[in-house]
Amino acid sequence: MNTTQGRIAFQGELGAYSHQACVEAFPQMEPLPCNTFEGAIAAVREGRAELAMLPVENSTYGRVADIHSLLPGSGLYIVGEHFVRVHICLLGVPGAKLADVREAVSHTVLLGQCRGFLESHGIARVTDSDTAGAAKHVAAEGKPARAALASELAGSIYGLEVLAKNIEDNSHNTTRFLVMSPRKIEAAPQEPEVITTFVFQVRNIPAALYKAMGGFATNGVNMTKLESYMVGGNFTATQFYADITGHPEDPAVRRALDELRYFTTNVAILGVYPASELRREQAEA
């Protein structure tokens, strides 16, 4: 996808990992921080940004809350994906040393990912609502005994020094982001690897999900993701979110989707987009 100008919206403060995803994937675009996921979606829908970068899942902590339920009604389309390897830095005020730090401030998820490092250095954990926000707060307080856990990008933005880097316990921790656009831009069928994302609800008949999924197996279509969530707080209404490898125009995919529609209701394709380079590399490994 070639985007040479404009804004890209994300949830969080400047320096958040979502901001890092924007910089890596679209370095030429201006990042637009938003308070919420809904705010980032609204920024695109209202024309204040051309794209949105939304985290959908993390390799350690699973899916990102709310995103699956927001996407179908967002009015936006998935036009790409991007993976960010989550490297965590301990960031201190200028002149501070690692030995000075008594407290580390960050989002609870990052605090949990650095448990081993913090315990080995006798550093207490302090929860903040946002990783980049924690860096911003530490910079404002100016205390050598208090550091932040955040990205190196956040440190450069808020004038903090890296006291230790790559301190995460899980060396493979990665977050997957979806690139959202108000325009329906689909990958060409001849792309080397295409991801099709869709949502659906199963009909209220016995073994409906089993039968709906059977079409993908019999047609040799690889389903890389299938998750369920409630619709409207109703325990009897379940919607499914799925990723498959292949283009809807591929004969095998077309047959599988036709069979899916027979056993389901409200099938909606959210995006047909090229697989990221990281996904292709992993598939070839």
Structure tokens at 159: 């004038």
Residue whose C-alpha is closest to residue 134's, from 34, 21, 14: 14
Q: Are 29 and 3 in contact (CB under 8 A)?
A: yes
Please identify which of the residues 26, 117, 131, 175 carries the catalytic annotation.
175
Separation CA 179–CA 77 (nearest Å):
8
Separation CA 11–CA 77 (nearest Å):
17
Residue 50, classed as helix, strand or coil, is: coil
CA atoms within 13 A on the CB side of 215: 19
> How far is residue 64 from each of residues 61, 83, 91, 177, measured CA to CA in Å?
8, 14, 25, 10
6 conformational bin, left if phi > 0, alpha if psi -120 to 50, beta if neither: left
10 assigned to active site:
no
- Taking the mean position of all CA atoms in its chain, how far away is CA 254? 28
177 assigned to active site:
yes
Please identify which of the residues 177, 198, 200, 216 carries the catalytic annotation.
177
Residue type, 41: I
Q: SS3 helix, strand, coil % of the chain, rounded to 5?
A: 30, 35, 35
* Residues annotated catalytic, as ranges: 175, 177
